[in-house]
Amino acid sequence: MRIFTVTAYYSFRALFNWLQPMPYFINRLLFPLAQLAFFALIGTYGGSQPLSFYLVGNAIGTATATAFGVSQAVGNERQQGTLAYLLAAPAPRVPIFFGRAALHVADGMLNMVAALAIAVIAFGLRVPVEGILGVVSAMLVATLAICGLGLFLGALAYIVLDAAILANFAMFIILLLSGANVPLAELPGVVAAIAQGIPLTRSVAAARLYVGGGSFDAGVGLLLGDLALGAVYGIAGFVVFNWLETRARRGGRLEGV
């Protein structure tokens, strides 16, 4: 447990590139505001859905920023020259690998809370009292699922060398295909099927259900599905990381694979 907590703290402070708190909190306010304003205004005046559709979709969709942090926390080990020390360490790999995503769960929640507050205060989104628990649950599941994807992208970054490029591709694909801005019913059949394998698709649907006054039980299946999908991505990232580590040891290249 100590390895997990130490890894979570130092990877967040160092490998995530946040050494000063003020720029961090400013970013956490400006990023949700920019995303909500962009998609909500364009969607309202040019789309086929009501304002609440875009507000809820992008409030949950701000979780995509978490993929950047998690993938950097894993992938930047190589760029910053610390990968050799990680691979040479005798510490167990599970807490070291998954610990890099721990604080990013809270970071993603903070991002979505800020986005939801902006949606309510600035854009007039109404969230029923009975739906608050469900919306918070959808936010938590969304950030967990994205953290799983971030771990997978971070492991792949040891091959392609740039976690930011992978995270950028993932962010735009998720915003396009998860139903955050385009209804799944309007997507082509094959693309709609692909959307079912993308994190946030079910969390966004569950959040809209709760904002619309649906019962908590009605969205549990959606949330469990997204949680399972995030776990699959996280485990896949761990498998890739172990495979690359084995190759590095066999090749005598602890600085990279």
Q: Is 214 left (phi over 0), alpha (psi -120 to 50) or beta?
A: beta
d(CA 72, CA 65): 11
Report yes or no on 257 lying in a domain. Answer: no
**Domain of residue 47, residue span:** 2-251
Top pLDDT among 83 and 223 is at: 223
Q: What is the CB neighbour count within 10 angstroms for residue 164?
A: 14
pLDDT at res. 19: 59
Report yes or no on 59 lying in a domain. Answer: yes
Report yes or no on 238 lying in a domain. Answer: yes
Report yes or no on 57 lying in a domain. Answer: yes
DSSP label at residue 12 = I
Q: Is 47 left (phi over 0), alpha (psi -120 to 50) or beta?
A: beta
Report yes or no on 256 lying in a domain. Answer: no
Are residues 127 and 211 in contact, defined by beta-carbon separation less than 8 angstroms?
yes
Structural domains in the chain (count): 1
Report yes or no on 117 lying in a domain. Answer: yes
pLDDT tens digits, one per residue of 197-235: 999 999 999 999 999 999 999 999 999 999 999 999 999
Residue 236, Cβ density class (10 Å: 0-12 exposed, 13-18 middle, ≥19 buried):
middle
d(CA 49, CA 124): 16
> Following CA atoms 41, 23, 143, 197 in sequence, which dihedral angle do they give, to the nearest 10 degrees?
60
Report yes or no on 139 lying in a domain. Answer: yes
pTM above 0.95, yes or no: no
Report yes or no on 67 lying in a domain. Answer: yes
